[in-house]
């Protein structure tokens, strides 16, 4: 039999932190008039943190009167107090702290290699400090993306989704021009970026000019550029060109915005784009990546954006689609009531419609698409032909299922078969 007494152990270690007189480390944090000293035990610090295990090794430490003196001026006292209590007790209490403190705690946890803290800090910020994040979004965004993708994946995902929902304020801000290229790439590759493709192109060009040595504020007038300037801009923007959905840009904007920068677009790609605008059809053989139009966000508590893309492919019956869709929520069972009458009242008379159903106490998702909507709900559901009843149908309609909201492998689709 094994008995575990973690709560008592945590309490005892807390008393060691607060009352012990045998400490051998003094840690000085913050700077100027805010410097504060914390007393700790090297054996506990090294056992609980890979960072301190290395930093307190004999070759790095500074001693004074047999006491290890350690300085961390880039961490403030509020944050270090949280960290030290976690190291000693294994407990993390985030309730009384501001969003700013928690963001700094995340930064310090990253520096001190306290991976165990990344998940709870991210979840608490997203659950309890959304307003603060939104009010300080640019600061928050840039800090979060300086941390590693692994450490900060949830906050990075939140930031990207927030920008995609309302991109213009961010894309037109001064901060955008200094955006790291890896973050810009992650934004432009998303299918849910809610901004006109020609505006994306405009912003990309401005970013590229600012990022290219010899251009920017030194040489912003394109009329003064030479071949070397275009070549330099091409080198900067080359990784991003395949992410632009050129086929979504209307002809006037193509002539006005894209054609002047012909020299920075690979020749084969440019010829294919021209063929599309001249003939209105895609080339039979294309080097353009098969990117779909950027899709609108769907207001659903059942499916995520990755499944929306699959459903849109089914609607278009193609892997390469050119149709743009906007989703409007007209009926939600949790709000409007789960009953036939409520469904009829909300959905009757609607045009193309998508129905999503999640099975209670499971992750399974069922759904259906009607290209003719639900105009026939109610009295007109059936038409009478030679005394017999007949349902309205369309060969474009289908039903489908997913195992869960992440499932992109085991989905099923069943279409209507006509005249069989």
CATH topology match: 1-91 vs 166-294: no
56 in Cβ contact with 70 (< 8 Å): yes
Please report how many Cα atoms fall inside a 13 Å half-sphere around the Cα of residue 367, on the Cβ side: 27
pLDDT cut 90: percent of the chain above it: 23
Residue 383 pLDDT greater than 60, yes or no: no
The pLDDT, as a whole number, for residue 385 is 47
pLDDT cut 70: percent of the chain above it: 83
pLDDT band at 382 (very low <50, low <70, confident <90, very high): very low
Mean pLDDT of 199-226: 86
Residue 418 pLDDT greater than 90, yes or no: no
Angle at 394 between CA 292 and CA 334, to 5 degrees: 70
Residue 391 pLDDT greater than 80, yes or no: no
Give whole-number Cα distances, 293 to 90, 190, 316, in Å.
Answer: 48, 10, 12
Q: What is the pLDDT of residues 128-159, one digit of tens each?
A: 999 999 999 988 998 999 887 777 889 999 99
Fold observed for domain 166-294: 1.25.40
All structural domains of the chain with their residue ranges: 1-91, 166-294, 305-415
Long-range contacts at 375-384 (CB < 8 A, ≥ 24 apart): 375/348, 375/349, 375/350, 375/351, 377/343, 377/344, 377/347, 377/348, 378/344, 378/348
* Mean pLDDT, all residues of the chain: 81
72 in Cβ contact with 28 (< 8 Å): yes
The pLDDT, as a whole number, for residue 419 is 64
The pLDDT, as a whole number, for residue 67 is 80
Q: What is the pLDDT of residues 164-177, one digit of tens each?
A: 888 988 998 888 99
> Hey, what are 259's tokens?
């054609």
Higher pLDDT, 207 or 317: 207
Higher pLDDT, 341 or 281: 341
d(CA 391, CA 11): 71
Least confident stretch, 3-17, 176-190, 249-263, 295-309: 3-17
The pLDDT, as a whole number, for residue 90 is 85
Q: What is the pLDDT of residues 325-377, one digit of tens each?
A: 677 788 888 887 787 788 877 777 677 888 888 888 888 889 888 887 776 54
The pLDDT, as a whole number, for residue 68 is 84
d(CA 309, CA 318): 12
CATH code for the structural domain at 1-91: 3.30.710.10
Angle at 364 between CA 359 and CA 367, to 5 degrees: 80
Higher pLDDT, 334 or 203: 203
pLDDT band at 184 (very low <50, low <70, confident <90, very high): very high
């Amino acid at each position: 039999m094994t008995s575990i007494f973690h709560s008592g152990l945590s309490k005892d270690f807390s008393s060691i932190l607060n009352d012990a007189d045998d400490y051998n480390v003094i840690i000085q944090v913050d700077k100027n008039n805010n410097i504060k000293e914390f007393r700790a035990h090297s054996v506990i610090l090294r056992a609980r943190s890979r960072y301190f295990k290395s930093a307190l090794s004999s070759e790095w430490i500074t001693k004074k009167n047999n006491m290890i003196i350690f300085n961390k001026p880039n961490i403030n006292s509020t944050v270090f107090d949280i960290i030290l209590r976690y190291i000693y007790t294994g407990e993390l209490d985030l309730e009384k702290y501001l969003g700013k403190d928690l963001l700094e705690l995340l930064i310090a946890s990253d520096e001190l290699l306290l991976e165990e803290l990344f998940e709870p800090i991210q979840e608490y910020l997203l659950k309890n400090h959304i307003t603060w994040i939104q009010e300080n979004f640019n600061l928050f965004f840039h800090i979060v993306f300086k941390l590693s993708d692994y450490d900060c994946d949830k906050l990075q995902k939140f930031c990207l989704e927030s920008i995609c929902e309302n991109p213009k304020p961010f894309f037109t801000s001064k901060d955008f021009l200094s955006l790291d290229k890896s973050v810009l790439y992650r934004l432009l590759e998303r299918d849910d970026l809610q901004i006109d493709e020609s505006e994306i192109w405009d912003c990309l060009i401005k970013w590229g000019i600012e990022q290219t040595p010899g251009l920017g504020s030194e040489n912003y007038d394109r009329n003064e550029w030479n071949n070397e300037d275009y070549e330099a801009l091409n080198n900067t923007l080359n990784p991003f060109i395949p992410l632009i959905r050129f086929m979504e840009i209307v002809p006037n904007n193509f002539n006005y915005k894209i054609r002047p920068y012909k020299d920075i677009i690979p020749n084969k790609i440019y010829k294919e784009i021209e063929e599309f605008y001249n003939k209105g059809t895609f080339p039979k053989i294309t080097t353009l990546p098969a990117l779909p139009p950027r899709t609108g966000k769907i207001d659903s508590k059942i499916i995520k954006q990755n499944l929306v893309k699959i459903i849109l492919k089914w609607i278009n019956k193609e892997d390469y689609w050119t149709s743009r869709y906007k989703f409007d929520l007209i009926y939600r069972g949790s709000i409007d009531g789960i009953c036939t009458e409520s469904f009829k009242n909300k959905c009757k008379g609607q045009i193309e419609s998508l129905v999503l159903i999640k099975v209670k106490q499971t992750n399974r998702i069922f759904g259906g698409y009607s290209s003719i909507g639900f105009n026939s709900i109610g009295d007109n559901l059936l038409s009478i032909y030679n005394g017999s009843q007949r349902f309205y149908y369309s060969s474009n309609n289908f039903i489908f299922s997913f195992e869960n909201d992440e499932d992109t492998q085991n989905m099923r689709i069943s279409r209507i078969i006509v005249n069989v």
